[in-house]
Amino acid sequence: MQMSDAVGFSASTPTVWRPRHAEEAYRLKKQFGHDAAYVSGGTLLRTQWENGSPVPGHLIDLSSAAEWKEAGADNGTFAIGAQTTLSACRSDPQLQALYPLIVEASRSIAAPSIRNLATIGGNVSSGVGDSLPALLVYEAQLDWYDDGGERTESLEDWLRRMQDGTAQTDSLLLRVRLPLESANLDPSENLSENPSLTADPAHSFAYYAKIGRRDSFVPSAVTTALTGTIDGSGRLRRVRLAAGGGKTIPRRYPEAEARLEGKAADDRSVHLLHAILMASYTPAPDPFLSDEYRKRTAANVAASHLWRAISEFAHGKEGERCC
């Protein structure tokens, strides 16, 4: 702790710690337990405090650790440091090229002033952030620091444990890793640059949508992401679907993914996807929108993603790609 400078001692204001390394941050968290919180941008915490959650006695400010602010290729993956702000994600050219849904998700979260502070780490750690469906379809991994030092876990597993209530609460998120093989290497997109590929008409698609009660600067009601490919013979391949929204912990929909694998890219697939989500999307309670409404929204929006993908494919990719 000798490396940390604590500021602001007073009965009512919490102590702020500024650790410079993961080990130190984690040690502080272990030491103070429930009376301490990691703070990245502090934007989500602030809303929680506004809404009456107690402010803990110790705030562990993670912003001094520069190593967690970097984004770039690392070890066969693309790593985004947990302290990377959503503004930085939004304007990162590499992310835009490789994982455009993350850029799109970043753009849809809160407002510019908040995105300047808010981090991807805080968004992920919340368990309900709007970046999660995008990260899920890219099969993101999380690097944690805890008792055993650094470890890696799939985002999907961690969210499942969040849902079960078995996720460790003290672990420190260091970075999010995205496998390079899930990057947006759309062969049809390379057509113009590389005429030799024209023989392969496969079409990759990626869609993200955040639906709220108004157009912008709004908590999400439903957030969806869908990626996949339509192969040369018009069959769906490697469809990955994730949905969350509001307090609903996002998850993948393996049943839909499995049943769509190899199916013809046609209306029946759109219907199938819709039916599966109607049956299996279970939103957490929301005081403003009914479960039924949000179920239908999730199914409609996800089905519209697939519909767009198919119609783009059918019309030789004329349509725009967007939510």
Partner 1 sequence: MLLNRRNSGERWRVRPDGPGKVTGALAYLTDMDVPGALYALVLRSPHPHARIVSIHTEAARSLPGVAAVLTHADVPGLNRFGIARQDQPVFCEDRTRYVGDAVAAVAAETLALAGSALDLIEVEYEPLPIVGDPEQALLPEAPLLHPEGNILHSKSYRSGDAEAIFGQCAHVVEETYVTTRQMHAYMETEGGLFVPGPDGSLTVYAPTQHGFMDRLQLSRILAMPERRIRIVSSPIGGSFGGKDELNVQPYGSLLAMVTGRPVKIHNSRRESVRSGLKRHPMTIRMKTGTDESGRILAHRVRIVADTGPYATLGAEVLNFATEHVVSAYRFGSVDVESISVFTNNGMSGEFRGFGGNQAIFALEGQMDRLAEAVGMDPWEFRRLNMKAADEPGPFGQTIARTDGLAKVWAAAADSALWKERVHLDISENSDIISTSSATFDPKRGGGDLPLWKRTGIGAALVMHGAGLGYGIPDPSGGRLALRKDGKIEASFGFEECGQGLIATLEQMLVERFGFAAEDLRIVIGDSDAVPDSGSSTASRATSMMWKSLSLLQTPFTEKLLTEAANCCGLPVQRLRLGPGGIWDRESGERAIGYPALAERLAEPIVCEASTSYPVPDTDIVGAHYLYSYAAVVVKVEIDDLTGRIRVLRQFHAVAAGPVMNPQGYLGQIEGGSSMALGFALLEESTMAQGQYIANNFDTYLIPTIADLSGPVEVLAIEDLPDGDAYGPRGVGEIGSVGLAAAIASAVRNAAGIFIHRLPIDPALLQEVMPIGQWAVMSDER
b/e sequence 273-295, b meaning 16+ C-beta within 10 Å = bbebbeeebebeebeebeeeebb
If one asks whether residue 219 binds partner 1 (CB under 8 A), the answer comes out as yes
If one asks whether residue 304 binds partner 1 (CB under 8 A), the answer comes out as yes
If one asks whether residue 9 binds partner 1 (CB under 8 A), the answer comes out as no
If one asks whether residue 165 binds partner 1 (CB under 8 A), the answer comes out as no
* Choice from 165, 192, 288, 318 touching partner 1 (CB under 8 A): 288
Distance between CA atoms of 199 and 184, rounded to whole angstroms?
19
Helix (H) or strand (E) holding 124: helix 120-125
CA Rg, the chain, in Å? 21
44 contact, one of partner 1, ligand FAD, none, CB 5-8 Å limit per kind: ligand FAD
- Are the beta carbons of 16 and 59 closer than 8 angstroms? yes
Which of 199/322 has CB closer to partner 1? 322
Judged by the rule CB under 6 A, the positions of this chain that interact with ligand FAD are 37-47, 62, 82, 86, 109-110, 114, 117-119, 121-123, 125-126, 129-130, 172-173, 219-220
* Choice from 18, 271, 279, 280 touching partner 1 (CB under 8 A): 271
Distance between CA atoms of 172 and 183, rounded to whole angstroms?
26
Which of 172/309 has CB closer to partner 1? 309
Distance between CA atoms of 282 and 264, rounded to whole angstroms?
27
Which of 174/303 has CB closer to partner 1? 303
3-class DSSP string for 285-310: CCCCCCHHHHHHHHHHHHHHHHHHHH
Strands 58-61 and 36-39: parallel
If one asks whether residue 293 binds partner 1 (CB under 8 A), the answer comes out as yes
If one asks whether residue 270 binds partner 1 (CB under 8 A), the answer comes out as yes
Residue 39 has, within 13 A of its CA and on its CB side, a CA count of 25
If one asks whether residue 223 binds partner 1 (CB under 8 A), the answer comes out as no
Q: Applying CB under 8 A, which residues contact partner 1?
A: 12, 47, 50-51, 211, 213-219, 234, 264-268, 270-271, 274, 287-290, 292-293, 296-297, 299-301, 303-304, 307-308, 310-311, 314
